[in-house]
Amino acid sequence: MAVTDTINSTLRKVPAWAIYVAGFLYAAWYFYLGLTGGLGVEPINTLERKYGLTAIQLIIAGLAVTPLRRWANINLMKFRRAIGVTAFFFVLAHFCVWALLDVQTLARVWADILKRPYITIGMGAFLLLIPLAATSNNLSVRKLGPKWRQLHKLVYPAAILAAIHFIWLVKGFPWEPFIYAGIIAVLLALRLVPKKRRQPAPRRATT
Amino acid sequence: GAASIAGSASAQDALEPNPLEDITSYNNFYEFGTGKEDPMRYADQMEISPWSITVDGLCDNPGEYSLGELTEGLTTEERIYRFRCVEAWSMVVPWNGIELGDVLAKLGPKPEAKFVAFETTVQPENMPGVRRNVIPFPYVEGLRMDEAMHPLAMLATGLYGEPMPKQNGAPIRLVVPWKYGFKSIKSIVRISFVEEQPPATWNIINPNEYGFYSNVNPLHSHPRWSQESERVIGGGLFSSRQPTLMFNGYSEVAPLYEDMDLDVYF
């Protein structure tokens, strides 16, 4: 597989921190556009949606790492943490724009979280991602051991909640949120495909 | 009459119209797509000349009217109205047009006509949103006859003294300032006088979220968001919300709903 080899060897040369830098610059660029009229006449809503959409795209990217390695032989493992942490960064940015610039008062933020199901669901996704972001450092990986893998499966329900949150907030029937939900469903379903068991090594006679 | 009524409503806070750019670049006109900038991008494809409006139902003068025939002999005036979208944003628009009641009177509604229904043009070849079926088309709306005859209701044919931009519903659209924006149907090709409450597009799509009346009402929240406040378009990234007023500030329409529970008939 020459193509995947080329892809993999090229990717090996890209440092993982490039994802953090690119993510931060991308978010900052859109914030700058919002400040300077580049996001149209209602920048708050546009920025809120942009950060939310980028967050769900990065969650999808993170979920794609394992299937890509298993079925396409493309190895993005070394980027997975950076993708995940950057996804969390965009969820946080999305939340901050919503709470601070859009809703603006803490009482209303709280009321919306309790009263509006699509916001409750989005908040649920956010909360599920907090422990993942908090344990994304090497120390936690070492300390938690096998529990770390279990804990980080919380990204599955978080992705499902994010997809529902997106579908629930639109008016009418645009395709976009359904396409994202479909991709997430496929990526999660792929994890249910059983791995081929390795043939057990023939037992040696003990003489 | 009408002008002074509109004047009294607007005098409360000396309305400052939004710049033309705000009004023409932030629109909901799903025939062109669901994005706020889609109408600005694609509406130039809409065919508006010649324009014909079908008048039918319970009236004395049904038929096909050109835009000129419909508005002939009626006074065009400027009305500066608050425009409050159900999505909790608002702007102030200097419309030009004629009183809806004057047009309807000319068409001669019969006494049995209790409602008036409107329909937007459907031009699949010119409208990307129609081709994608994002909502059912044609877009339809309606008013109770007494609402339609209220002097605040108008048919607008322009804004800022210029012919109506296509993304704002050229060549002729409804403006009902005390109702959420989606009631103010754009690019009208049919006016029907009917006895029963006519279908209204968003009410068909989601009756729990969008009632037939859809009067601006800060006390009746949309199931998915509060209607207590609104963001004025054009204020930038740090603009603060302002409280939403009952009937969008046009309290003179309150007598139309005197005997109604506005939480039921929202």
The DSSP letter of residue B125 is G
pLDDT at position B89 is 96
pLDDT at position A173 is 76
Instruction: Tell me whether residue B61 is in a domain.
Output: yes
Q: Choose among B264, B187, B233: nearest CA to B88.
A: B233
Mean pLDDT on A72-95: 96
Q: Choose among A114, A105, A124: nearest CA to A165.
A: A124
Domain ranges, residue B68? 2-257
Token digits of residue B107: 């068409």
Q: What's the CA gap between A90 and A55, in Å, rounded? A: 5
Neighbours of A38 (CB within 10 A): 12
Instruction: Tell me whether residue B263 is in a domain.
Output: no
Nearest-5° angle of CA B32, CA B35, CA B41? Answer: 55
Instruction: Tell me whether residue B264 is in a domain.
Output: no
Q: Choose among B261, B82, B264: nearest CA to B180.
A: B82
Is A42–B134 a contact, with Cβ atoms under 8 angstroms apart?
A: no
> Scanning every residue of chain B, which has its alpha carbon at the shortest distance from the alpha carbon of A100?
B238
- What percent of chain A clears pLDDT 70, i.e. is strictly above it? 94
Instruction: Tell me whether residue B128 is in a domain.
Output: yes
Chain A CB contacts of B25 under 8 Å are 40-41
Q: What's the CA gap between A4 and A62, in Å, rounded? A: 19
> Scanning every residue of chain A, which has its alpha carbon at the shortest distance from the alpha carbon of B34?
A174
Say how many domains are in chain B.
1
Instruction: Tell me whether residue B232 is in a domain.
Output: yes
A172: nearest CB among B21, B37, B134:
B134
User: pLDDT, tens digit, for every residue of B33-72?
Assistant: 999 999 999 999 999 999 999 999 999 999 999 999 999 9
Report whether pLDDT(A91) > 50.
yes
Domain CATH code at residue B98: 3.90.420.10
User: pLDDT, tens digit, for every residue of B204-236?
Assistant: 999 999 999 999 999 999 988 899 999 999 999
Q: Is B6 helix (H, G, I), strand (E, B) or coil?
A: helix
Tell which wins on pLDDT, A207 or B3.
A207
The interface predicted TM-score of the complex, written ipTM, equals: 0.82
Is B134–A34 a contact, with Cβ atoms under 8 angstroms apart?
A: no
Instruction: Tell me whether residue B157 is in a domain.
Output: yes
